[in-house]
Structure 1
Amino acid sequence: MLFAQNPGPVLRVDVPLDSIRLSDPFILADQKTATYYMTGTGGMMWKSRDLKKWTGPFKVAQTDPASWMGNNPMIWAAEIHPYQGKYYYFATFTNRAVKIDTVGKNIIERRACHILVGDKAEGPYVPMKDPTYLPASMPTLDGTLWVDTDGKPYMVYCYEWLQNENGTIEKIALKPDLSGSVGKGKLLFRASDSPWSRQTENGKTGPNKVTDGPYLFRTGSGRLGMIWTSWIDDVYTQGVAYSKTGSLDGPWVHEKAPITPPNFGHGMLFQTLSGKWLMSLHSHKSLGGRTVRIPHLFAVDLTGDQLVVGKPYKP
């Protein structure tokens, strides 16, 4: 099988984290190699030994041009998850040449969550057997991995608001080797369920439509939580919800207030190589007429019954 290969980017070394422009930063602290691997939107990878200086970007995702993705798909919100001896690359792929729907003024492009596999954290990551994980008629994004209380792996993802007009977060069961999905997706909650994500239109304030960037975690007490991102009017904002039952099926109860400062979102949690818990996320600001997204780290406390976000962390 032939895979799409584009010329690699210009390699940079010893780059401070705040000098990198990257949306949806996901950091894997790999004990095997004593290295941090950072991925995100754009499909590139950065590497670091200490979280201070980074080398990259490296191209690590190899896609099949004969698949629904086409020759050069857009790649959003890439994550790397070690699982049963291999590394899995969860990402959102968009083929802009294929239109699947039109809702109002929104033309919906072929976009879906998909999983690639690699033998090493640094890749390369290549396709597996199944061509799709979710229906072609649905725009889905920001898939992440969670092994639930039944011991089975699931993909948790967003069904995009552009089509359903009230974005959702859903789950779908995965095959034991993550090479495909099993059955149909199941609703976990809707954007409108949140008390903090709001928007004002025509002088009226109501629920926001957007669901973005789910990430699952357990607190020190064993409580299952999920951070996810939406908007308060034009401000990018992240909140948290907790499952009453401790499983993905919920029901999910949302905290009333956001948990991060304004214009920060799409976060994830990881432990440093020395065991300290941190949150990786990006700032989302408009500067000089263009949107700038910069990775950041925050200290977090998971020892109790809830996630507590602390101060910005400087390695």
Structure 2
Amino acid sequence: MKTHQNYCIQKSRLVFSVLLCFLFFSMMQAQKKRQIKEAVPLDSIRLSDPAILADKKTNMYYMTGTGGLLWKSKDLKSWSGPYEITKTNPNSWMGPNPMIWAAELHFYKNKYYDFATFTNRDKIIDKVDDISIERRASHILVSDKAEGPYVPMKDDTYLPANKPTLDGTFWIDKDGKPYMIYCYEWLQNGNGTIEKIELKPNLSGSVGEGKLLFKASESPWSREKDANGNDKPNKVTDGPYLFKTGTGRLGMIWTSWIYDVYTQGVAYSKSGTLDGPWIQEKEPITPPNFGHGMLFQTFEGKWLMSVHSHKKVDNKTVRIPKLFEVDLSGDKLVVLKPYLNK
């Protein structure tokens, strides 16, 4: 009897020890996730597709991008983060642990919206040339605060489940209606496109079907080699972002490649609406190896472009946020010089 009691006591202690270890590990993981860095210079942050919201309500700059995390700054120089702000539904098509790409925040009708791309690597929607196409789509989350948390709205799906889409952004067109502008990925169609879809008034879902704006092959500046080694326009469309010039002209920056060089160009709408036609500028607008840009105005009124650099360091791809001053006062977007906030 005593032996049995000792066994039970030892077993209870073992279970208790395992539980303590589990709780300790869980606490350490939680602390690790919540570890916030302070006074981080912008060029010390590793981040793809940086998008910055200048929030007048809090007088704070909020930066997010691929990964879906958030950084905060009062002066664009010193940043704190990263903060976890995204709460998705594990029972939705995204699954319990989706990849998050190219998140960007928008303030609209007194709410904050997170336009982001989510990928469920466990769901394969197609196979093209032995490449498995994962379930990936642009989506919108909402919050009452710029810092989040951002949560899904009513509709589970904004874009077709059988198409890989990415890099959704926001625009209110001349008809007063809200739209998502996004890329239909080249992996499936062989010639990436930029498209638009109308959104419900509260952005809780989409209306109708997507409409083509232009194809990657319309770019006069992008380049790649075909199977025979001949030049042709690159097939990639990436990172669209809409803006208006000082004269009211509607423009769009977007990114592709010149061989292995990440490059950003610009197109302008002849009609002044999303329907175009879109006329591509002949030359890129940013230095080599910069792209996926967006535009925002500082609290002092200066227009800046946020992009990331794209380079190899020790055979690893490194992407670092970078700011450029831009001039929008005329008929075209002009990129001036790197922005240094000293």
1:94 and 2:119 equivalent? yes
How far apart are residue 63 of structure 1 and its match?
0.1
1:179 and 2:204 equivalent? yes
Between the two proteins, the alignment pairs up a number of residues equal to: 311
Q: Which residue in 1 is equivalent to 2:106?
A: 81
Q: Deviations 1:166-210 (Å, cap 9, x if unpaired)?
A: 000000000000000000000000000010011123320001100
Q: Which residue in 1 is equivalent to 2:42?
A: 17
Q: CA RMSD in A?
A: 1.1
Out of 203, 223, 228, the position equivalent to 2:254 is: 228
Gapped runs of 5+ residues in structure 1?
none
Runs of 4+ in 1 over 6 A off after TM superposition: none
Task: Tell me which amino acid in the other structure corresponds to 2:198.
Answer: A
1:50 and 2:75 equivalent? yes
Q: Distance in 2 between matches of 1:60 and 1:26?
A: 15
Q: Which residue in 2 is equivalent to 1:65?
A: 90
Q: Which residue in 2 is equivalent to 1:250?
A: 276
Q: Distance in 2 between matches of 1:218 and 1:89?
A: 22
- Aligned to 1:8, what secondary structure does the other structure show? helix
Gapped runs of 5+ residues in structure 2?
1-29
Q: Which residue in 2 is equivalent to 1:136?
A: 161
Give the share of equivalent positions with the same residue, in percent: 73
Q: Distance in 1 between matches of 2:257 and 2:88?
A: 32
Q: Distance in 2 between matches of 1:6 and 1:128?
A: 29
TM-score normalised by L of structure 1: 0.97
TM-score normalised by L of structure 2: 0.90
Q: Which residue in 2 is equivalent to 1:204?
A: 230
Residue 170 to residue 6, structure 1, CA distance change in 2 (3 Å)? farther
Out of 243, 266, 277, the position equivalent to 1:217 is: 243
Q: Deviations 1:98-123 (Å, cap 9, x if unpaired)?
A: 00000002210000000000001111
Task: Tell me which amino acid in the other structure corresponds to 2:115.
Answer: F
Q: Which residue in 2 is equivalent to 1:302?
A: 328
Q: Deviations 1:78-102 (Å, cap 9, x if unpaired)?
A: 0100000100000000000000000
Q: Which residue in 2 is equivalent to 1:278?
A: 304
How far apart are residue 286 of structure 1 and its match?
1.1
Q: Distance in 2 between matches of 1:111 and 1:222?
A: 34
Q: Which residue in 2 is equivalent to 1:156?
A: 181
Higher strand share: 1
Q: Which residue in 2 is equivalent to 1:108?
A: 133
Q: Which residue in 2 is equivalent to 1:314?
A: 340
- Aligned to 2:319, what secondary structure does the other structure show? strand
